[in-house]
Every structure is written in structure tokens, then in C-alpha cells.
Amino acid sequence: MRPSLNFRHTFAEINISHLKHNLRQLRNLVPEGTFFCPMVKSYAYGHGDLQVVSALIEEGVTDVGVALLEEGVRLREAGFKKININVFGPFDLEGAKTLFKYELTPMISDFRQLRFLQQSILSEQQIEIHLKMNTGMNRLGFSSMEIPEIKQFLNEFPRIKLRGLCTHLSKGEDMGCEGSFSLKQLQEFEKITNQFPQNNLVTHVLNSSGLLGLFTLSQQEPWQRYWPVGVRPGIALYGVLPSFKSEKVNSEVIKKLKLKPVMCLKSEVIQVHELEPGESVSYGNEWVAQQKSVIGVMPVGYADGYTRHLSNKGVLILGGKKIPVIGIVCMDYTLVDLTKLLAQGIIKSSQEAVGKELTLFGESKTGDYYPVEELAKKAGTIAYELLACIGKRVPRQYLKEHQ
């Protein structure tokens, strides 16, 4: 089934059952009561924030994470009143007032943010915050040297209540390796948490790779002491398994966890051309037919997130067979080579190709499968970027249970 306002038949199928399956797999790894905060930033990695959050709530999730304050406001305005919305990104003074208004929980990374909170807090108001600590990624977060000053600030303004401490791993995939940077970050974070002896604080560290890696190593030295700790899974929730530097960890993770891809991007052939040798396709005439060829046009381009880096490199699936992208990916169109499919009799004639469904990545209901990770490699990027950049003009079709 296709979405209704979709006259070019390009759409993303979002499998909510797969999302819920992945969620359960990940949640089962951590003991009950561990801080568990699925990341739904950037339109839930392209999958649709409102639908994803709805599904997570149905499964009993109590916390979600967004990058932008604006994303948190959007969730509240959509009616998600009860769930804790943790905001990881920056805000200004106006933003601080907005945090109070919408009852959002900020992850505070610097004194500027603390001062904005202090300046905008109204009498009788209070707010819970988490402190984001820099343990080596050097992106956001306080340094451990700033802890005395933070404590002084929090003592002076007791209505700004410390609820949690967190950090972010820069290289979760290296868990289990000699000289692991993640291990250094865990050690550094432990030193930091030791300086906050309050026993009601939540602590959270692990992204998808961190969670899977540390879970796998949780019975072993020197990792054991750091497990369990709060988790913030993103990409794994959407069905993409991180790949680990340590072969052992990798194979353990693959054995233990069966994730299912949530998004499947689809389009169809809208026109075919029969080319003579020497004829070319698309901008710049970069791809030139070496033989008599049949090429197809699909109505999806870089404006939809099918990146131009896939020019002459992308692969997609038609009728269970891989076919190559040829020529330059345009803003609205991409061209594919159908010659082999005709030669193999998978398509009987050029004209029969028109209207054939194409699976650009993911697992389709009709049984085609091409992992987004592989397509991302062809584009010289990662699955995160491909998923998060699927354009707003691509309708999302939500498949619910048993559909």
C-alpha cells in the first residue's frame, strides 16, 4: 500500500513492528530501572518523530532524547505531555524560558546555559537538569575541573535541581580493543560521578555501540565495573547494527541481537529509454552506453536525500536483482541500468519495466532487501546520514502490526 498524496510513487515504508522489535531487543539488555532514553532527534533519524514516539510510548518508554529544543517543543505541542523529553542541544535565554514552559529537561553543557536558566526562572518554578560532562569527545560538556564551580552554582540556586550526569562516547565501536578510548571515557566518567555522592542521580553514557559493546563485555575485566549504566540508543533502534573493531565483540553482538530494518525507501520506474552504444545519460553526459542498453528513470533525487554521491555508484533492487545507478543523480531523478534484467528475462520488454517497484534500501514487504549500511558505503557515508537526510517531501507510509 502506498501513501495517498504520492503521485510519483516514491515513499518510505516505516515498519513500526520492526521498530518495536528492536526496542524490545535493546531494552532486554539492560536491567530494569536503568535509564533508557531512545534518541528521536532529527525527525527520529528520518523515520517520523511523532509516529516513533507514539510507538515507544505504547511500549512503555518513559524518556526520549532530542538534539534541538525545537524538536522537544514539537513533541509537546503534538500532545506528548507525560513522557520525559531530554534536550541535548544548545539554547539561548529565550530557549531557557521555553524549557520551563514546555517542561523539558535540558542536558546542560556549560555555564552559559546555567546562567540562562537562572535568569529565566520565575519564583516558585524549579527545573531538573542533567550535566553533560566532557570525557574526551571534546564536543559538548563541562570539564571535570569545573565541578567545584558547578557545585557552588547549584548550591546558590537550589531550584535548579541536579537529576543526572551524562557523557557521550566518541568511539563506542572500539569496546573490547586494546587501548580502547571508550574505556578511558568510562574511567574518566567514573571519576566524575564519584565527585557527586548524591545517591539519587541517574547516569547515562551509552549510545548504540556503547550499549551493545559494554553489554557483550559486561562479565569481563576491566569492563565489568562500568555495567550497567544509562543508555541512549539511536541507530540500533532503527535497525542498524554498529560494527565493532574487535572481531570477537562483533560476532557476539551479531549472535545475540537480531535487529530488523525499520525504513525501506521505494520508488518505481517511470520511463525507459533504449540507447545505442555511445549515447549518454543525465547531466554532464558522464555515463555512456558501451552496448545497446535499456535505462530506466526513477523519480527520486538528491532533494529527497538520495545523495548525489551515489552518482554512478548506487545500487538498488528490482524484482530481487541488484541494478546499478548510472550517471549523475539529479535533484528529482536518478537513472538506472536495466539492460541485464532484460537480458536475463526478468523483465520481458522495455515497456514492461515502467511501473516496476524499486527498493532503494531496506527490506520491502515484497521481500526485496538492500541494507542501508551498504548503500551508505557506496556513497562514502554512514547509514545515519542517509536515514536522517531522507527528505520531508518523501511521504512516510507507516506499517503497523500484522500489516
- Residue 106 or 234: the one with the smaller Cβ distance to ligand PLP is 234
The tally of CA atoms less than 13 A away on the side-chain side of residue 389 is 17
Report 253-272 residues binding ligand PLP (CB under 6 A). none
**Region binding ligand PLP by CB under 6 A among candidate stretches 11-19, 233-241, 310-318, 364-372:** 233-241
- Residue 235 or 294: the one with the smaller Cβ distance to ligand PLP is 235
Of 151, 248, 258, 283, the catalytic one is 283
Distance in Å, CB of 84 to ligand PLP, minimum: 15
Distance in Å, CB of 295 to ligand PLP, minimum: 37
Whole-angstrom distance, CA of residue 98 vs CA of residue 260: 37
Of 20, 41, 132, 356, the catalytic one is 41
- Residue 174 or 337: the one with the smaller Cβ distance to ligand PLP is 174
Distance in Å, CB of 39 to ligand PLP, minimum: 4
- Residue 76 or 171: the one with the smaller Cβ distance to ligand PLP is 171
Whole-angstrom distance, CA of residue 297 vs CA of residue 289: 15
At which residue does the C-alpha cell 531557557 appear? Answer: 96
Name the residue with the smallest CB distance to ligand PLP: 234
Q: Are strands 271-275 and 263-268 parallel, antiparallel or unpaired?
A: unpaired
Q: Rule CB under 6 A: say whether 215 interacts with ligand PLP.
A: no
- Residue 254 or 354: the one with the smaller Cβ distance to ligand PLP is 254
Among residues 207, 250, 307, 397, the one that binds ligand PLP under rule CB under 6 A: 207
Smallest CA-to-CA distance from 242 within 218, 208, 216, 211 is with 208
Amino acid at 356: K
Distance in Å, CB of 206 to ligand PLP, minimum: 8
What three-state secondary structure class fits 232? coil
The tally of CA atoms less than 13 A away on the side-chain side of residue 207 is 18
Q: Rule CB under 6 A: say whether 234 interacts with ligand PLP.
A: yes
Per-position x/- string for 168-187, each x denoting binding to ligand PLP as judged by CB under 6 A, each - no binding: x-------------------
CA trace torsion 97, 154, 197, 149 (10° rounding): 120
Whole-angstrom distance, CA of residue 81 vs CA of residue 101: 12
- Other Cβ atoms less than 10 A from the Cβ of 320: the count is 11
Among residues 35, 88, 142, 302, the one that binds ligand PLP under rule CB under 6 A: 88
Whole-angstrom distance, CA of residue 303 vs CA of residue 8: 14
- Residue 107 or 317: the one with the smaller Cβ distance to ligand PLP is 107
Q: Rule CB under 6 A: say whether 235 interacts with ligand PLP.
A: yes
Among residues 232, 289, 336, 376, the one that binds ligand PLP under rule CB under 6 A: 232
Per-position x/- string for 19-58, each x denoting binding to ligand PLP as judged by CB under 6 A, each - no binding: --------------------x-------------------
The region, left, alpha or beta by phi > 0 then psi within -120 to 50, assigned to residue 237 is: alpha
Distance in Å, CB of 77 to ligand PLP, minimum: 23
**Region binding ligand PLP by CB under 6 A among candidate stretches 10-18, 110-118, 190-198, 234-242:** 234-242
Distance in Å, CB of 319 to ligand PLP, minimum: 33
Distance in Å, CB of 220 to ligand PLP, minimum: 22
Q: Rule CB under 6 A: say whether 342 interacts with ligand PLP.
A: no
Q: Rule CB under 6 A: say whether 72 interacts with ligand PLP.
A: no
Q: What are phi and psi of 293, to 5 degrees?
A: -135, 155
Cis, peptide link before residue 222, omega less than 30° from 0 = yes
Is 97 among the residues known to form the active site?
no
Is 256 among the residues known to form the active site?
no
Whole-angstrom distance, CA of residue 288 vs CA of residue 124: 71
Q: What residues contact residue 82 under an 8 Å CB cut-off, 6+ apart?
A: none
Smallest CA-to-CA distance from 95 within 83, 84, 79, 107 is with 107
The tally of CA atoms less than 13 A away on the side-chain side of residue 17 is 7
Distance in Å, CB of 51 to ligand PLP, minimum: 18
Q: Are strands 293-298 and 271-275 parallel, antiparallel or unpaired?
A: antiparallel
Whole-angstrom distance, CA of residue 256 vs CA of residue 133: 31
Dihedral (CA of 147, 119, 81, 41) sign: negative
- Residues with catalytic roles: 41, 283
Contact residues: ligand PLP, CB under 6 A: 39, 88, 168, 207-209, 232-236
